[in-house]
Every structure is written in C-alpha cells, then in structure tokens.
Structure 1
Amino acid sequence: MSTTNTPSITPASTLADLAVRLAGATRVFHAHGLDFCCNGRISIADISAKKGLDPAALIAELEAATADASDFERWDDAPIPALIEHILEDFHAAHRAEVPRLLDMAEKVERVHGDKASCPRGLAAHLTLMLESLDEHMRKEEQVLFPMILAGRGRMASMPISCMEDEHKDHGLNLEKLRALATDYVPPAEACTTWRALYLGLEQLERDVMEHISLENNVLHPRALRD
C-alpha cells in the first residue's frame, strides 16, 4: 500500500480514481450523495453537470479534505494478496459482524416504536435481505473469484468478475432503499437511544459497503484482468 503520490484533481478526474487514490475523497462524495463505487467512472465535470454542482467548488472541497486527512492507506498499488486480505478482514468479516448487530437493533426499534408514524417499518426485513445477499455474494468471492486471482488466473476471470459487478449494482440499489427507509439516517425528535445509534450504524454501513465495492470494481478487478 502507499500513502504518497497524491493525484492532481482536475475536472477530468473520475470519482472512482479519486476514491482510491485521494485521502478524504470518499467523505466529500458521501456528503454530496455521489456514487463513487458502482457508477464511479464519471468525471468531476460530468457529475457536477448532472447534479447541479460547481466543479471548481467540488475540487476545492476535495483539496481541503486531502489536506485535513490522516492515516489514509492507498491500496491501488498494494500487492494483490495483501489487497484481498484487506478486503476479507476489513470488509467481509466486518459486514458479517455488523449487519446482524444492526438487524437486532432495527427489530427492537420496530417492536417498541411500531405505533409511531415515524417508525422505519420494513427496515428489519430489508436488512435481513441485505445480510443474505451480502453473505451469498461474499461466499462466491471467497470460494471462486479470489482463489482464481490468487492462483494467477485473473485474466481468465472476466465472467465471474462481470457477475460480481452486476451484483454490486444490486447492493447499490439495496443501499438506496436502506437510506430511504431510514429517512437519510436522520432520526426523528422522538427517537430513543437505540434508534439514534441504529441510524449512525446504518450510515457507517453504507460508507463501508461503498468503499468495499469501490476497491473491488476500481482496483482489484482491473488489476486482476490486466496483471
């Protein structure tokens, strides 16, 4: 991994490239609701036009975020075995631990506050679907794709990689629904401590899943097909 060689930021820079190479970039993208993982191969200029943003202001935010960021680890030039180990330990294992914890909290909130109009009804059911979908997806990576890449057969993995990236789009749609069910992770005034903690955890889950997908779509997969 690397912590140097900060890339320059221009209107032609893509979200995907900046997300994996620029400290603080994903925080800025999250703040503006920009998809840098599944649809990150779009330039600053194009996404600004699409979202009605000022590209110069967005670049200034990114530059400021880079100056303020610390302990940023770049994985775009890390050895592939180290990158896969990072994905397994910091994302696969983390998702398997965190989603059930959030599901328990969501079930409690719906059970206790189900009579309130602001209750996020259906949130627990959606988290159950997400857990099942993520687990099935990660097992495919662990049992098929990652062993192929580690065995030096990445160039022959175009079909499983295409399948995984299609499933990543489904995960992206699941995140959109999650955010809608949780009202952009803004708890109502009457929310209890568990409810507020749930929304904080869901927002972090969204960040983690997006960074997970970004590493695979924008770093691991292109390198596996090329190296």
Structure 2
Amino acid sequence: MPEETNVEVWTDSDSNTIIDHVISHYHRPLIEELSLLSPYVTKVSRVHGEHHPELLKVNELFYEFKKEMIEHTAKEEEIVFPLIKKLAANEVENTEEAINMIIELEKEHDAAGAILKELRIITSDFALPFDACGTYTLVYQRLEMLEADTFMHVHLENNILFPRYIK
C-alpha cells in the first residue's frame, strides 16, 4: 500500500486502493476516536465550563461534528464508495446520480471543515489556559489531531479520488 503521508503517491493509486485506505486509516480510527473522546469533552466542559465558557461551545461543536461524521462515513461506506467502485469499473449506467452524490459528499466535507475551523477559533488555536488540567490538555491535543486527520482524509477524497469522476 502507498505511503500514507506521501500524497503524490495517491494520485497514481487506483480508486479501490484509495477507498480501502480511507476506510481503514481514516474512517475506523475516526469513529473510534469520536467514541473515546466524547466522555472527556463532556467532562472538561462540565468541570471547567463555568470559568471557561468557550468549553461549552467546544462541547456543542464536538458533538455536532461527531454526529455529522458518523452519518457521513456510513453514507460513504454503504452507498457512495460502492458506487465509485462501480464507476471505476464502468458498471454504472446513471453517472449523473453518482456525480450528484459525490458533490453532496464534498458539501458535507465543507460543513465538517467549517465546524473544525470554528473549534480552532473558539479554542484560540487550541491554546491552553494556565489552569488547564491533564484532561483539558488531552482534549485539546486530541481535537487538534482529529482536525489534522480529517483534513488529510478530506484531501484524499476531494482532491484525488472525487475529481476522477466529476469533471
């Protein structure tokens, strides 16, 4: 499989390889991380929200992002990725429907990116206050990693995979 961090390699990879990579290296870890991070985001907002009201917004944005991404990854895996695999094999008769679904996914990517950008703004670029505890620190670090992984995931789809089918 191509080196994950070398985006140039992905331009030469076939669609099935990219799809399999996205599922195994982005979808699975994302769903797991959203589940694991949830109680910490809730705890930090509950414990520190009175003195750091931005954490209430962080909590709200995180859960909005979580809901969106769970639905989005399920749609990709159950509907759109199988359709793209058929497109790649020239087994789709109604390409317009497939293209519209891909365009819808790109809009969902934009919405997820907007949530992440708002999280970055609300947290002042994930800057920790002087009284941040270990859990607070962990939440900000993991939110920043979640952001980086999501942007790489979206880049592979929007800039490498999807343009092959929407011209």
AA aligned to 2:78 is Q
Structure 2 matches for 1:70-219, cutoff 5 A? 74-117=9-52, 120-151=55-86, 152=89, 153=91, 156=95, 157-219=98-160
Deviations 1:142-192 (Å, cap 9, x if unpaired)?
A: 121111111224781211111111111111111111112222111111100
**Are residues 117 and 164 of structure 1, via their aligned partners in 2, closer, same or farther at CA, if it must alter by over 3 Å?**
closer
Q: Secondary structure at 1:185's aligned position in 2?
A: coil
Name the CA distance, whole Å, in 1 between partners of 2:62 and 2:134.
Answer: 19
1:113–1:119 Cα contact (<8 Å) kept: no
Name the CA distance, whole Å, in 2 between partners of 1:179 and 1:218.
Answer: 23
Structure 1 residues not aligned, in runs of 5+: 4-18, 22-73
Length-normalised TM-score, structure 1: 0.64
| Identical residues among aligned pairs (%) | 32
Name the CA distance, whole Å, in 2 between partners of 1:181 and 1:101.
Answer: 22
Length-normalised TM-score, structure 2: 0.86
Higher RCO (Cα < 8 Å, 6 or more apart):
2
Which structure: greater helix fraction? 2
- The runs of at least 4 consecutive aligned structure 1 residues that moved more than 6 Å come to none
Other-structure match for 1:20: 7
Q: Secondary structure at 1:78's aligned position in 2?
A: coil
Structure 2 residues not aligned, in runs of 5+: none
Name the CA distance, whole Å, in 1 between partners of 2:61 and 2:54.
Answer: 14
Name the CA distance, whole Å, in 1 between partners of 2:82 and 2:124.
Answer: 39
Count of aligned positions? 159
- What is the root-mean-square deviation of aligned Cα atoms in Å? 2.1
More moved, 75-84 vs 217-226: 217-226
